[in-house]
Amino acid sequence: MYPEENFNYQATGLAMVSSTQKGTITTDGEVYNPRTMTGGHQTLQLPSVVKVRNLDNGREIVIRLNNREPSTPTRILSLTPLAAEMLGISKNGVAKVEIIEDESQSRNIALQLPNGPQLPITAAPVGEVQQQDLNNPSSTKTLGGNDGSSTLKSVNKPILLTDFPTTYVQGTPRFSQIFIDGGSFTSKNYAYRLAAQMNGRLVSVVENNGRAVTHVRVGPFNSVSEADHALENFLSSGIKGAKIVIE
């Protein structure tokens, strides 16, 4: 999977609680704080704003994505401990979630911060250097060093992004099940081949852009661990586009 800019992003999957240490620099250059309403995604542009819904309990939160997580392909989203708490997820738990990007806020951030938040970068300290003329060994010249206190001129002034409020909206829980999606196809010939390989079925879906595509689905699975195991087997067998989805 590769990062991409997508302002109409909608997806389902499993969310987890991030184990990133406080003070770590996030992918977009922020200082990670576990007590903020932020999270990580493997491909969406950073930073961006998304609404996350816990399908099992109906809670909805709004967070800013600022990190390239989670590292495991079996999870679609990582949440700070605070965001997970607001969504009703225990410390080591996972949740079936729906993610919908806030197009307006995400576009505004992209326009204001085309390269993400900028942190001041300090030049590494360099001591004095002695320069000697090889034709005149007795002649030396001292070149000035620096103590690392100067900031590189090419770096912009840091921009602080406003934290989202620590709140959630209580919605209606939705019955949902765990599936594995093998990929989407405009040609059913390829879909039939993959369905036979995965022992799956074909599902026709109309995407946001109005285009009809065919997905290969396997499931439902009775538990997260069962789905994790199946996905790992598909990925190791070369089906790289396989992912967990919730329906």
Give the pLDDT confidence of 14-40 residue by residue, as tens digits. 999 999 999 999 998 889 999 999 999
Q: What DSSP character marks residue 71?
A: S
CATH 2.40.40.10 fits 1-119+163-174, yes or no: yes
* pLDDT, greater one: 143 or 192: 192
Q: Are 77 and 104 in contact (CB under 8 A)?
A: no
d(CA 228, CA 79) in angstroms, rounded, equals: 19
CATH topology of domain 177-247: Alpha-Beta Plaits (3.30.70)
pTM over 0.85: no
Closest CA to 77 of 58, 104, 55: 55
Provide the 3-class DSSP secondary structure of residue 172.
coil
- Domain borders along the chain are 1-119+163-174, 121-154, 177-247
Give the residue-averaged pLDDT of 75-102: 96
List beta partners, residue 52.
61, 99
Which two structure tokens, joined as six digits, stand for 110?
Answer: 């992209």
What's the pLDDT tens digit per position in 89-144? 998 899 999 999 999 999 998 888 766 554 443 444 544 545 555 555 555 554 44
Return phi, psi of residue 145, to 5°. -110, -165
Residue 158: predicted pLDDT: 47
Closest CA to 176 of 87, 83, 31, 54: 54
